[in-house]
Amino acid sequence: MAVSSDAVRLSCKLASFLGSLIRFAPFVLSAIILPLIFGCSEASSSNQVPPVPPVSVVSVSIAPDSVSLGAGETSQFTATVTGTSNTAVTWSFSGCTGPTCGAISSTGLYTAPSSIPTEAAVTVVATSQADPTKSDTVAVQHMPIAISIAPAGSVMVLPSGTLNFTVAVQPDITNAGVTWALGPMCVSTTCGTLSNVAFDSVTYTAPAAVPDPPTVTLTATSIKDNSKSAEVTIIITSPGTSGLLEGDYAFLFAGREDHDNTVTLADVVGHFHTDSSGNITGVEDVNAASGVSDLMAFTGMYSINTDRRGSLTITTAEGTATYRMTVDPSGNKGRLIKFDGLPTNAVISGTGYFERQDKAAFSLSTLSGPYAVEMFGWTDTNDVGAVGRFTASASGMFSEGRMDVTVLSGVPKSFTELTLTGGFGSPESSTGRGTAVVTLTPAPEETTGTFNFAYYIVSDERILLMEIDPRSSTTPVLSGQIRRQNGSFSIATLNAPTIFSLEGETWLGSTATVGRFVPDGFGSMTGTIDQNGEAFTVESLTLNQDFLGSYSVDWDGRSTISLQVSPTNTYSAIAYLFGQNEGFLMKTSETDFGRGEVALGSFKQQAPGPFTVASTAGSFRTNTTVPRANQSGKNDAGLTIFDGSSTVASIIDMTVSTNLYHFDFSGTYTVSANGRGTLTFTSPSPDRSVVFWVVSPTELVGIFTVNTPETSPVLLEYEK
């Protein structure tokens, strides 16, 4: 029988009243009242409104959340769907159509296009089938294949001689490598032959006689993307040639001079012509303590041994200077050190480099486009470092320019994102020399804001320059180089293992740094650093130290970098990119040991690893770098020979101020999988050790890890 709700309520009220009487007659009333109370509880519960079940919200997430791929490479994406029992998704693209998108399967397997002409991004979408309004996206960065052959440019070989070439392909995670070919229209009697052909290396053997014309082109074409290739020109030469090609070269030299018993610095930039028989003529601009000398004419002679080591003399109206040098196998470029220890009021030591000029670039219209620039200099009292960029018009005017400057006057002062204006004057058709003006707004403290330069064109990709304003307490003597910026820039431009180097000055002495950073293409990086801080201080050494970091990249290639080496050791730096994982670098602060520092350098993408002692087999030309920010009087020029196992020998000419040395060192070396190596020389003395990083099998960069007058903190460059 059904009971009305009113009756239930009345019964429950009665039960409540009777329940209050239990304390007076507990044994009698409990048997009557308790069933009523429990019945009321059940009735009350059964008459409550049932709770509303929660509403399920569908959401979609994709893993991984970002990826960079080369041509034809794949990535498996996984979509996780919550809030529904139907976890299926539909994969698609957003913002693109056609083959340039690549392909995505129903299971989330993404395949990049077979050809990627330029860097681009594609958006992949996973949409819930249960609720099509819910989805997630992931960015896929398409990275075009880039191929580099070593040795690069032009190389020389004698008839029947052999050359070994290696190639680096990025990105190429499957190591598909390249195919090799000789051209044009080759037969073995005129072009030579290829042997030991591998996906990443090949051996070339020249024909028995010099062909007409005496040049052969070796081309490496990507197997993964046959639209991408690189080539090198091989020049077959007769025995007895001088080792430099007949033609025009630009050079930059940075040195120390003793002016009225005060050691200061002097810079030189210029041009020379070689007749390929050992004679040169040229002009140079000099900025020394005694003043600025424009367009000083000189003559000279040179000779080069079969091991690519040689000597050079230059004679001006002020006298004759002697240099030792090393020249690359192509004869296109070389490095030199001053080697005569001239007395008072002359440049007593220094280091420089020279490179063959492309005379087709000797015009303002050829120089139009974007460039990055780095310069180091000093006033009478301060060190000054600067990195920046600008865009040159066909008439030579600069636009979209900005520059970052560090001035070391006891403590470093950084001036960021100054506006850069100015322009190139027309270059001379015979030497590639021109003048340029740069104005910085606002002017950095303790310096002027307008600077005049002499520049010499190497090619439309590279220009050397030196300030021609007389030095003063506020006017620095700046010198350095300009590099053309290639491609567009974004956070993804830094995305591969990269080797960096810095050279600088603190208020306690010189400093040199090398290392490796690994950016992820999204703003974070890891890495390892080696630093030799101040001369003659043990605590200045920071060796094989891991770090974490972050970075940003602007549209014009300006990048900010922050590294955390330890809780008390942090670095911040400014970089200006001029290519993929390549650019100029300037340190802007450091907390380590309370030092103030101005330090400049560069970085370059590392060839694919892993590396072993066999990665460095062969002879490397060995030189101290042109001091970007280092007043050390020590300079090296020579060869270092790695046997591919563990033994190393080094033939070195060295200057330490006015002292001249020649050493034949021997010792051992190691190379880790990440490219970090050590040199330990045991003969003739055990106090010469080096840590180096492998950029590629033809290029290394290192620093000394002990401090003596003969091994101060300077950068060493090794090139085949």
pLDDT at 702: 94
CATH architecture of 360-484: Beta Barrel (2.40)
Question: Where along the chain do the CATH 2.60.40.60 domains lie?
Answer: 59-142
Please tell me the predicted confidence (pLDDT) of residue 50. 59
C-alpha separations of 136 from 60, 101, 383, 503, 694 in Å: 6, 17, 52, 46, 41
CATH architecture, domain defined by 59-142? Sandwich (2.60)
pLDDT tens for 91-116 read 999 888 888 899 999 999 999 887 78
**Is the pLDDT reported for residue 633 higher than 70?**
no
Which amino acid, one-letter code, is at 298? Answer: F
The amino acid present at 705, given as its one-letter code, is T
Using CA atoms, how far apart are residues 575 and 553, in angstroms rounded to an integer? 9
389 within 8 A of 485, measured Cβ to Cβ: yes
Stronger pLDDT, 342 or 406, i.e. the higher one:
406
User: Which of 14-28, 275-289, 523-537, 638-652 is predicted most confidently?
Assistant: 638-652
Q: Alpha-carbon distance 415 to 598, whole Å?
A: 12
pLDDT score of 29: 42
Instruction: Check residue 443 and report its DSSP letter.
Output: P
Spatial separation of the C-alpha atoms in residues 94 and 122, rounded to whole Å? 8
Strand partners, 59: 82
Half-sphere exposure for 717 (CA within 13 Å, toward CB): 23
Q: Using the 8-state DSSP alphabet, how is residue 593 labeled?
A: G
| pLDDT tops 60 at residue 130 | yes
* Topology of the domain comprising 247-356: Lipocalin (2.40.128)
Q: What is the percentage of the chain residues whose pLDDT exceeds 70?
A: 83
Distance, in Å, from the CA atom of 188 to the CA atom of 192, rounded to the nearest integer, reads 4
User: Which pLDDT belongs to residue 631?
Assistant: 54
Scanning the structure block, which residue is given the tokens 């007058």? 709
Range of lowest pLDDT (117-126, 261-270, 380-389, 529-538): 529-538
**Residue spans in the chain of domains classed CATH 2.40.128:** 247-356, 360-484
Task: Write down the residue that tokens 């670039």 correspond to.
Answer: 361
Q: In terms of C-beta density within 10 A (0-12 exposed, 13-18 middle, 19 or more buried), how is residue 6 classed? A: exposed
- Give the mean model confidence (pLDDT) for residues 665-671: 93
Checking if the pLDDT of 500 tops 70, the result is yes
| pLDDT confidence bin for 281, thresholds 50/70/90 | very high
Percentages of the chain per state (helix, strand, coil), in multiples of 5? 10, 55, 35
Look up residue 424 and give its two tokens: 């190139």
pLDDT at 172 over 80: no
Q: Do 574 and 416 touch, CB atoms closer than 8 A?
A: yes
Per-residue confidence at 720, pLDDT binned at 50, 70, 90? confident
Report the DSSP beta bridge partners of residue 647.
Answer: 668
Residues contacting residue 274 through CB under 8 Å, at least 6 positions apart: 242, 244, 245, 246, 247, 249, 280, 302
**The two three-digit tokens of residue 150, written as one number:** 């070593």
* The pLDDT of residue 146: 81
Q: Using DSSP bridges, classify how beta strands 66-69 and 135-142 pair: parallel, antiparallel or unpaired.
A: parallel
* C-alpha R_g of the chain: 35
Quote the percentage of the chain above a pLDDT of 90: 47
Higher model confidence: residue 594 or residue 137? 137
Cβ proximity of 546 and 528 under 8 Å: yes
> Cα separation of 393 and 368, whole Å?
5
Supply the pLDDT for residue 498: 97
Asked if the model's pLDDT at residue 549 lies above 60, the reply is yes
Confidence of residue 535 (pLDDT cuts 50, 70, 90): very low
For residue 397, what is the DSSP state? B
3-class SS at 107?
coil
What local confidence, expressed as pLDDT, does residue 353 receive? 93
Residue 709: predicted pLDDT:
52
Torsion of Cα atoms, 299 then 303 then 308 then 312, to 10°: -40
In three-state secondary structure terms, 581 is coil
SS3 annotation, 230-285: EEEEEEECCCCCCCCCCEEEEEEEEEEEEECCEEEEEEEEEEEEECCCCEEEEEEE
Phi, psi at residue 540, to the nearest 5°?
-75, -15
What count of other Cβ atoms lies within 10 Å of the Cβ of residue 281? 13
Rounded-to-integer distance, Cα 350 and Cα 90, Å = 66
Confidence of residue 153 (pLDDT cuts 50, 70, 90): low
Q: Looking at mean pLDDT, say which of 376-380, 406-410, 515-519, 594-598 comes out highest.
A: 515-519
3-class SS of residue 470: coil
Q: What is the pLDDT of residue 260?
A: 62
In the chain, CATH 2.60.40.10 sits at 146-236
User: Distance (Å, rounded) from C-alpha 106 to C-alpha 113?
Assistant: 17
* Burial (Cβ within 10 Å: 0-12, 13-18, ≥19) of residue 673: exposed
Judged on CB neighbours under 10 Å (0-12, 13-18, 19+), 212 is: exposed
pLDDT at residue 546 tops 60? yes
Q: What is the mean pLDDT of residues 317-345?
A: 82
Nearest to 509 by CA among 439, 397, 595, 606: 595
Q: Give the span between the Cα atoms of 513 and 308, in whole angstroms.
A: 28
Quick check: 593 pLDDT over 60?
no
pLDDT value, residue 28: 41
Lowest mean pLDDT among 360-374, 545-559, 572-586, 622-636: 622-636
**Chain-wide mean pLDDT for the chain?**
83
The reported pTM is 0.69
* SS3 (DSSP) at 402: strand
Q: Which CATH class is domain 146-236?
A: mainly beta
Sign of CA dihedral 233, 239, 245, 251: positive
Band (pLDDT 50/70/90 cuts) for residue 707 is low
- Closest to 642 measured CA to CA, from 699, 602, 593: 699
Answer whether 603's CB lies under 8 Å from 527's CB: no
Q: Give buried/exposed letters for 62-99 (b at 16+ CB in 10 A, else e).
A: beeeebbbbbbbebebebebebbeeeebebebeeeeee
Tens-digit pLDDT profile for residues 466-497: 999 998 888 888 999 999 999 999 999 999 99
Mean pLDDT value of segment 433-460:
94
Distance (Å, whole) CA 233 – CA 457? 22
Using CA atoms, how far residue 502 sits from 133, 626, 708, 713, in Å, is: 52, 12, 20, 11
CA 417 to chain centre: 21
List, for residues 43-88, the tens digit of each pLDDT value: 444 455 556 566 678 999 999 988 888 778 889 999 999 999 999 9
Greatest CA separation for the chain:
134
Distance CA 494, CA 522 (A): 8
The string of pLDDT tens digits covering residues 189-241 is: 788 999 999 988 899 998 988 887 777 889 999 887 888 888 887 877 665 45
Q: Are 610 and 598 in contact (CB under 8 A)?
A: no
Identify the pLDDT of residue 686.
60
How far are the Cα atoms of 247, 480, 627 from residue 501, in angstroms, in the given order?
32, 16, 12
The answer, yes or no, to whether residue 559 has pLDDT greater than 90, is yes
| Among the listed residues 438, 432, 461, the one whose alpha carbon sits nearest the alpha carbon of residue 375 | 438
Residues 401-409, mean pLDDT to the nearest whole number: 90
Q: Is the pLDDT of residue 176 over 90?
A: no
Question: How high is the pLDDT of residue 605?
Answer: 96
Residue 49, pLDDT score: 54
